[in-house]
Structure 1
Amino acid sequence: MSRILLAGVVLVHFILFTPAAVLGKEESPVQHWADEAVEIHRLVEKGELERAKGKLENLADRFSNGDFSRIRLSVEGMEALSDTLVELDRELVRVMPRPDRLLVASKRMMLAFDALAHPRQPLWHQYESVWKDDVTSVKQRMKKNRPETVRSAVGTLVRHYRTVEPALYVSRNPETVGAVSTLVHSLERQAGRKPMKPALLTSTLKQWERMIRPLIDGKEQDVLALAHTGMPAWPKAALTLGGIIACALTYVSWQKYRQSRVFVHRRS
């Protein structure tokens, strides 16, 4: 009986304290990256920028030296993640901090790494209600026929989209994100026209509104179909070609980023 109890204790100890790699289940680094990103964002919110810098340096080093062979991530997604690190680093090292941009940069970084760690239920899905509220706000201002307030509301909509954009590249097909971003950019451009063309702006706004739900949990082809509604054939081809070119450029940029991280690490 005592031998059985002893064997049980040994088994429990083995399960609790044996490294995952020994058990044949090597833990993925993506959750650690996501946790670090959340901590960095929390420090930025609290204004503890020096600590945030140190944490960001650690995350950047681990990410740039990470093994991506077992991680499902496109080159565009990898570039989006690295861009958020670079963007936040630039804001943190400024002599005169810009609090608003700093918070946006840290949020973009946090959402992107969260999307990598939680592909089924990423935090950026919570922006569905934010985007819908933005659409409602633009519509209300258009009814009052006050172009400046419409431009302000569209600007808010665009900022909210761009906060999530890096996470979209992690979660979605790059062609899909490229098409959606093109539509949002078109919305911004139309709102900035003087004089404003309400009919064209309304049409694009409705197109974006119909796209929100499929972007959250729809299929890639459904989002693309909505993005390409009313678009002639040549812009579709241009988007595809642009995606191929962007893929090559982002890969080169990523390689440069990795080399720069190694250089900084060795120099320090």
Structure 2
Amino acid sequence: MIGFGKMKWIGVSMALILFLPLLAGCALSAKQDAAAAVKPTPEQLQKVKLLNETAETMYQKVQQGDIPGSRAVLQQISDQVTQIRFEGITSVEGLNALTDTITEAKRVFQAVQFNPDAGKISAAKVRLATDSLTHASQPLWLQYYKQLQDDVNVIEQTAKASDKTSLQHASAHFEQHYSIIHPSLLISRPAEDVERMDSLVAFVKSQSMSQGMPFRNVLNAVPPMRQMLDKLFMKREATAYLPYPEPQNPILWTLAFGSVILAALGFAGWRLSKKNDGIVTVRRNEDGYI
């Protein structure tokens, strides 16, 4: 038998079990909102703009075949990055992607045997990455959408035709084109979305290189690849990807919800106390279980 006082404490405990996670969720939401509310200073924006202009100069020099000039400008880019604070501009993943891209470009341009094609790809990566810092709503890398969609179409066609050699070539082309915008994606989009796309790209590549007959597996991967591309390039309705909107005052909603729980449990305990003089009898069923 359980007394009314103990019943009340059980009710309070149950309410706290439901109530405290909601408070924790609100605290986490508030913390995330505070982080998202960080705004870059005019000085930061000016430095990022200068970085983007320097990257454009480097890209043009590479296109003109001025490799010594490209190396000099690339060093300027490397120096400028160390003087910029990126809070409110991009995430930690985005900053790491930017610095890794610059480091990779320096290795390409400082190689004993310079590869012109690799140099152009590295210059394009740097250029797109810095542009995504300054043009968050309409970055240059968005122009790659059609190219990547065409690559996925070729992957699908070669898989349907069971042409493994062509499938390998199609997968390699897609991976190369995707790698050019990969740093920009990490700068502009949530890391978890980029990781999902990375996994799909790696899966298709591994399947195309496998010893068996991977065509069905590749065809199964095509729809989610298209879906992730649409999401990364924001080509579908935003409502298809946005989370359920939070209430304007989550703390008030939480307090109200918790009050309802407490009131309901308290009322139930009061009814039981009136019915059995404050004693709740716990009986066993026919099988002997409580």
- With normalisation by structure 1, the TM-score equals 0.70
Q: Which residue of 2 aligns with 1:150?
A: 167
The DSSP-based 3-state class of the residue aligned with 1:184 is: helix
Alignment of 1:1-268 (within 5 A): 26=43, 28-69=46-87, 71-217=88-234, 222=241
Distance (whole Å) between structure 1 residues aligned to residue 222 and residue 156 of structure 2: 9
In 2, are the aligned partners of 1:33 and 1:59 still within 8 Å (CA)? yes
Distance (whole Å) between structure 1 residues aligned to residue 239 and residue 85 of structure 2: 27
Give unpaired runs (5+ residues) of structure 1.
1-23, 225-268
Matching residue's letter, 1:41: Y
Give the root-mean-square deviation of aligned CA atoms.
2.2
Q: Which residue of 1 aligns with 2:23?
A: none
Matching residue's letter, 1:34: N
In 1, are the aligned partners of 2:158 and 2:166 still within 8 Å (CA)? yes
- Shift of the 53–221 alpha-carbon distance from structure 1 to 2, 3 Å rule, reads farther
- Shift of the 40–221 alpha-carbon distance from structure 1 to 2, 3 Å rule, reads farther
Distance (whole Å) between structure 2 residues aligned to residue 221 and residue 40 of structure 1: 39
- Shift of the 189–128 alpha-carbon distance from structure 1 to 2, 3 Å rule, reads same
How far 1:139 moved relative to its partner?
Answer: 2.4
- Shift of the 95–120 alpha-carbon distance from structure 1 to 2, 3 Å rule, reads same
In 1, are the aligned partners of 2:56 and 2:127 still within 8 Å (CA)? yes
In 1, are the aligned partners of 2:231 and 2:241 still within 8 Å (CA)? yes
In 2, are the aligned partners of 1:176 and 1:223 still within 8 Å (CA)? no
- With normalisation by structure 2, the TM-score equals 0.64
In 1, are the aligned partners of 2:159 and 2:216 still within 8 Å (CA)? no
By percentage of residues, which structure has more helix? 1
Give 4+ residue runs of structure 1 displaced > 2 Å after superposition. Answer: 24-28, 139-145, 218-224
How far 1:25 moved relative to its partner?
Answer: 5.3
- Shift of the 134–25 alpha-carbon distance from structure 1 to 2, 3 Å rule, reads closer
Q: Which residue of 2 aligns with 1:243?
A: none
The DSSP-based 3-state class of the residue aligned with 1:195 is: coil
The farther-off stretch of 130-139 and 115-124 is 130-139
Give unpaired runs (5+ residues) of structure 2.
1-40, 244-290
Distance (whole Å) between structure 1 residues aligned to residue 242 and residue 207 of structure 2: 21
Instruction: Work out the number of aligned pairs and report it.
Output: 200
Matching residue's letter, 1:84: T
Q: Which has the larger radius of gyration?
A: 2
Distance (whole Å) between structure 2 residues aligned to residue 116 and residue 221 of structure 1: 26
In 2, are the aligned partners of 1:77 and 1:169 still within 8 Å (CA)? yes
How far 1:221 moved relative to its partner?
Answer: 8.5
The farther-off stretch of 213-222 and 90-99 is 213-222
Tell which has more relative contact order, 1 or 2 (C-alpha 8 A, sep 6+).
2
In 1, are the aligned partners of 2:159 and 2:218 still within 8 Å (CA)? no
In 2, are the aligned partners of 1:214 and 1:223 still within 8 Å (CA)? no
